[in-house]
A = this chain, B = another copy of it.
Amino acid sequence: MAEMRAFPGDVADVVDQELDRLLPAKHDGAETLVEAMRWSLFAGGKRFRPALIFASGRIFGGLEKELPATAAAVEMIHTYSLIHDDLPSMDNDDLRRGRETCHKKFGESTAILAGDALQAMSFQVIADDANLSEQTRLRLLSGLGYAASRMVAGQQLDLEAEGKEISIDEVRHIHENKTGALIEFSVFAGAVIGSARAAEIDAIKTYGREIGLLFQITDDLLDVTETSESLGKTAGKDAAKNKATYPHLLGVAGAKKLADEAAARASAALQQIDRQTEILKKFVYYLLDRGS
């Protein structure tokens, strides 16, 4: 399956530079720890959440200099969650983005600590971002803390559900937290950094919730239809772990239908925002295409 749509946004370089500035290879800290953090931070991730922050921020009038730190912070949280999810006691994955996972490369204790340090840093980065007003930073920090807690709760529920028959509502609840919370936060963050009105923030959060769902459905579909090589991570692992995914519960066709519905609701939410939201529409198409 070829990806028909290009990944929207053009911020990966800016985010990489910001991450490199915030966590340079040369430093006077714990060498191996920083090496492990950078191993996972610079593993070729698409910077999906940073792209959402930039897209949303630009739509709502955020300045270019106001966006990189928050984008880097969210990528740090996301990376820490991948490191911990891959651990032997969790999903026990050896391969991520086409190379060894953090614990395979650096050992388990270093991987746990690298994740811990990335989480701590992410909050500090926003607290220290002098490009943002104090009020904006606090709104972001509160929202990020909440999203990070929800993400962890979702991962816990996901692990507890392994091997059990659970309902479609339960699957949705798990992923609204595990995957959705940080995606929703990303578009919210852009809106807060810009000057979105309350009604616009409601709409963008609905959009975020729906593309979070869409992201998860298409991720599940990729796990069924792709090879490990093309995915860069172990394919078929959901079925191997007897995870209750959308294709498992609804079949491939049913999951695709649910994806279409989520896409429609995401697009409808954008309609309520009287700004140039085309770039956010492109994320919907991109996600739909990757699952088709």
- Partner-B contacts on A (CB < 8 A): 29-30, 32-33, 80, 84, 87, 89-90, 107-110, 112-113, 115-117, 119-121, 123-125, 127-128, 134-135, 137-138, 141-142, 144-146, 148-149, 152-157, 159-160
Contact A117 B152 (CB under 8 A): yes
> Contacts A29-B153, A134-B134, A141-B141 given: A146-B124 contact, CB under 8 Å?
yes
Complex Cα gap A127–B134 (Å) = 11
Number of copies: 2
Rounded to whole Å, the gap between the CB of A272 and the closest CB of chain B is 28
> Which of A84, A124, A137 has the largest count of B CB atoms less than 10 A from its CB?
A124
**Main SS of chain A's interface residues?**
helix
Q: Which residues of B contact A135 (CB under 8 A)?
A: 134
Contact A120 B30 (CB under 8 A): no
Contact A127 B142 (CB under 8 A): yes
Contact A120 B138 (CB under 8 A): no
Q: Which residues of B contact A110 (CB under 8 A)?
A: 156, 159
Contact A121 B145 (CB under 8 A): yes
Contact A113 B152 (CB under 8 A): yes
Complex Cα gap A117–B178 (Å) = 12
Contact B117 A145 (CB under 8 A): no
Complex Cα gap A159–B111 (Å) = 13
Complex Cα gap A201–B123 (Å) = 23
Q: Which residues of B contact A109 (CB under 8 A)?
A: 87, 89-90, 156, 159
Nearest chain-B residue to A124 (Cβ)? Answer: B145
Contact B138 A30 (CB under 8 A): no
Contact B108 A89 (CB under 8 A): yes
Rounded to whole Å, the gap between the CB of A106 and the closest CB of chain B is 10
